[in-house]
Structure 1
Amino acid sequence: MAELHADDPGITIVPHVEALAHISADVVLLTNVLHVLRPADIAEAVSCIWKLLAERKGVLIVSEIFPLLMPEQNAVPVPDHHLVMFLREVGFAVAQVSFEVAGCSAYCLAAKVKPGSPLAAEAIESAAINMWRQINAEFVANYADAGPMTSLEDQKRLLNWVFGIARIQHILQS
């Protein structure tokens, strides 16, 4: 992606969370990113993004595909309602659009900073941990209530729940 936009001065590709503190932007796009970040990384990113967008009255665009198309080593599929609640809790007003892509649900969130002071990184991290716990509880309940797995779609959902439960446990223990 960085190579595609190397000659465009209006686009900055951020290679890691720490680099967010050193950019200026009116729009921040997180596409298939949050589901691979640990709570501390989410807190750092969201804290930087909140400050950046509050200064410029910009917008955060978050898009994800759920369930994930295939298991990724460090990813947990994040259902839209959990991410909406998280962003609202940490100081954003959020609008949502959901749609279907390749047989999967996709969503796009547009978030603007609410007036007020930014939350401390510790509070954002706590909200991220709480989001992961809620997702875990939902995955465990879905897994427990799963009936016979008779189709490929059933098996994909089951794999996403099992993989998600394992990854969330790893996240919460690290």
Structure 2
Amino acid sequence: MPNADDACAFPDHASLRGHRAVGKAWLAVGSPAAGIARRADRFHTRVMGKGSRAGLGLMLVAGLVGGMAAGARAGSSEHDQQYAAWRETYYGANVIEYCGFITDEVKDGFRRKVQFLRAWSGMPAAIEWRIRVWAAVRADYQYLDHSLGGHRTWCQTDGLSAVRSFLAFRQRDMAREAGATE
């Protein structure tokens, strides 16, 4: 976990390198429905025959998927927006680092956006750290996926988009501050 001194520091791949294996483990965890279905399948193996077990398992999975979909639709849009904003922010910062687009203005925009997101979402530090590691891993995969020279296109799309996003946020935040002081 990061300490308070580097809470708004621009992501540095070197500081995340040792956490890559930990990050992959929590990304690879199966869905809760899969775990429940496996436990239910083991129980039914001992109690019921194969035919009734398959039908019951299918009904259980269908019920769980339907329940999860209904729960996802019921009021989670703000929560989803918060997670998406965090993921976009940290992924963009990692892409900017890979592409070499880091400037003082971009760093300031990133810092301001992270401060805003912390105030808006109230995200626990542990979850923020997981998102930060997820973003670093995703940026690594994307960089490697674009092969030799292909990262140039990635930098021109994702990288410049992130730079524009941080600079625009910085400009809006500075304008808000200037309006508040007058």
More helix by share: 2
Q: What range describes the TM-score normalised by the shorter chain of this pair?
A: under 0.3
* Higher strand proportion (structure 1 or 2): 1
Taking structure 2 as the reference length, the TM-score comes to: 0.26
